[in-house]
Amino acid sequence: MRACDVLVIGGGPAGSTAGHLLARAGRDVVVLERERFPRFHIGESLLPANMPLLERLGVRAALDDADCVTKFGARIVAATGTPSVRIRFADGLLPCPPSALQVVRATFDEILLRACARSGADVLEKHAATHAKRDPNGWTVRVRGGERETEIRARYLVDASGRETFLATSRRTKQMAQKHRRVAVYAHFSGVPRDPGPDAGDVLLAVRRDGWLWVIPLANRTTSIGLVVQGNALRQFDRTPQDAFEHALKHTPALADRTRDATRISPVHVTSNYSYESGSAARDGALAIGDALAFLDPVFSTGVWLAMGGAETASAALDQCLAEPAKAKVTLATWSAAQAQTNRYYWRLIESFYTPEFIDLLLQPSDVPLFRSLVPALNSVFAGVGPGTFGLQARLRLFEMLQTFHRRFNLQPRLDLGSIFDP
């Protein structure tokens, strides 16, 4: 039976990063991926905070060759057309690279997985983990590759199986976020014009009362367009997700000039009820990273960064556990607590984003100096800067207080964003 130090289930950004860094540290690591890459995946807008890690993995040149689009920020606009605000990563409160990339995930994930294999990890595509059993010395995982079933022994297990949530599903610890039952509908298009100049690569978000749309410029003049809508709004209007998507594309004034001559060049994909948490990040010598640990919401484009950043810290923790087994419990508990803190930070921001007060104040920034001091903090949040410093946290708390005041005293005009289903 094949035995290794660490078995990673899933070869997406989380799994390939973990496999890569553990192999580079000299550990014997196997990465199982049930698909053969390249394969389609959603999650195309990366964050500046992720760029140094891409450098460390040595994949920047390959990404440049793949014609990834550079983004310097985001434009967030009321779906009615005005007002709008431009987020510029370079104007953040905390140091961070000034730009990030928009990527075709089929290409991006393949580049990461090939780099993982080159670093010495044993990458097995078309191999799916089907069952995992724990004993005092580690894990035995049943693996299906084509017609064959085998078993692999590992000292530690990393669940990077994405929304499949391999471990949480078998342990029944997955908790859906009841308040955040949203549906995303998305496809690739050609014929979508871009802003002139350096803003051409920015992501555009058009916000409604009950949902929002994204426009992400990709390589080869392809554009990803997606709709996120509340599940109960869909039901109330008795629409299928695809109907709602087509309706929104026709009836969003802020996107009218972009979608007028757009041609859909991919199937329409739907992801429903996507927000959940899987429970503790580390338990019984098994770690969950990326979407296998939690998926919150795509609005801040944090998914790939949380997956890869979590994988980097997980591999450092596992390397330490293998070097000093006596301290493994504490090492993993500390790592797990840090993951929980990061998730709490983003949950709070996401809950805030989905209130009308957040959007009113974000899209209508006041000239009052107190408010202006918050803008760099918001730029940093959109760049993917994590829970980090006191200065950032204090400004975010202040922004929350302003939202509370606005709820009672109308600090700015109340925006009428309309519904996705407005004619």
Ligand X SMILES: Cc1cc2nc3c(=O)[nH]c(=O)nc-3n(C[C@H](O)[C@H](O)[C@H](O)COP(=O)(O)OP(=O)(O)OC[C@H]3O[C@@H](n4cnc5c(N)ncnc54)[C@H](O)[C@@H]3O)c2cc1C
Give the pairing type, strands 263-264 and 175-176. Answer: unpaired
Rule CB under 6 A: is residue 35 a binding residue for ligand X?
A: yes
Rule CB under 6 A: which of 73-92 touch ligand X?
none
Q: Which of 5, 28, 33, 319 binds ligand X (CB under 6 A)?
A: 33
Stretch that binds ligand X, among 51-59, 83-91, 157-165, 239-247 (CB under 6 A): 157-165
Stretch that binds ligand X, among 159-167, 277-285, 336-344, 355-363 (CB under 6 A): 159-167
Rule CB under 6 A: is residue 164 a binding residue for ligand X?
A: yes
From the CB of 111, what's the least distance to ligand X, in Å? 13
Stretch that binds ligand X, among 18-26, 44-52, 53-61, 360-368 (CB under 6 A): 44-52
Cβ atoms of 164 and 292 closer than 8 Å: yes
Among 54, 7, 59, residue whose Cα is nearest residue 304: 54
Closer residue to ligand X in complex, CB, 12/92: 12
Stretch that binds ligand X, among 7-15, 189-197, 278-286, 323-331 (CB under 6 A): 7-15
The tokens for 61 are 């040149």
Closer residue to ligand X in complex, CB, 205/361: 205
Q: Which of 6, 9, 192, 249 binds ligand X (CB under 6 A)?
A: 9
To the nearest 10 degrees (0 to 180), the angle between helices 356-363 and 390-409 is: 110
Closer residue to ligand X in complex, CB, 8/402: 8
Interaction pattern, residues 224-253, with ligand X; x per rule: CB under 6 A: --x---------------------------
Q: Which of 19, 73, 92, 162 binds ligand X (CB under 6 A)?
A: 162
How many residues make contact with ligand X (CB under 6 A)? 39
Rule CB under 6 A: is residue 44 a binding residue for ligand X?
A: yes
Closer residue to ligand X in complex, CB, 293/363: 293
235: CB partners within 8 A, 6+ apart: none
Stretch that binds ligand X, among 90-98, 163-171, 205-213, 318-326 (CB under 6 A): 163-171
Stretch that binds ligand X, among 33-41, 63-71, 75-83, 396-404 (CB under 6 A): 33-41
Interaction pattern, residues 266-295, with ligand X; x per rule: CB under 6 A: -----x--x---------------xxx---
Query: Which secondary structure element, helix H or strand E, spans residue 24, and what is its range?
Result: helix 13-24
Cβ atoms of 158 and 66 closer than 8 Å: no
The DSSP line for 84-145 is EEEEEGGG-SS---S-EEE--HHHHHHHHHHHHHHTT-EEEETEEEEEEEEETTEEEEEEEE
- Taking residue 366's Cβ as centre, other Cβ atoms within 10 Å add up to 13
Rounded CA separation 319/156 (Å) = 10
Closer residue to ligand X in complex, CB, 67/324: 67
Rounded CA separation 102/137 (Å) = 42
Interaction pattern, residues 295-314, with ligand X; x per rule: CB under 6 A: ---x--xxxxx-x-------
Task: Label each residue of 314-373 as H, E or C.
Answer: HHHHHHHHHHCHHHHHHHHHHHHHHHHHHHHHHHHHHHHHCCHHHHHHHHCCCCCHHHHC
Q: Which amino acid is at 202?
A: D
From the CB of 243, what's the least distance to ligand X, in Å? 18
Rounded CA separation 124/8 (Å) = 10
Closer residue to ligand X in complex, CB, 171/365: 171
From the CB of 273, what's the least distance to ligand X, in Å? 10
- Taking residue 419's Cβ as centre, other Cβ atoms within 10 Å add up to 18
Q: Which of 160, 167, 168, 359 binds ligand X (CB under 6 A)?
A: 160
Cα dihedral across residues 34, 40, 42, 43: positive or negative: positive
Q: What is the Cβ-side half-sphere exposure of residue 16, based on CA atoms within 13 angstroms?
A: 24
Closer residue to ligand X in complex, CB, 215/363: 215
Q: Which of 4, 6, 7, 11 binds ligand X (CB under 6 A)?
A: 11
Q: Which amino acid is at 109?
A: D
Closer residue to ligand X in complex, CB, 336/403: 336
Rounded CA separation 66/72 (Å) = 18
Interaction pattern, residues 165-204, with ligand X; x per rule: CB under 6 A: -x-----------------x--------------------
Rounded CA separation 171/166 (Å) = 9
Among 257, 249, 346, residue whose Cα is nearest residue 295: 346
Residues that bind ligand X (CB under 6 A): 9-15, 32-35, 41-46, 128-129, 160-164, 166, 184, 226, 271, 274, 290-292, 298, 301-305, 307
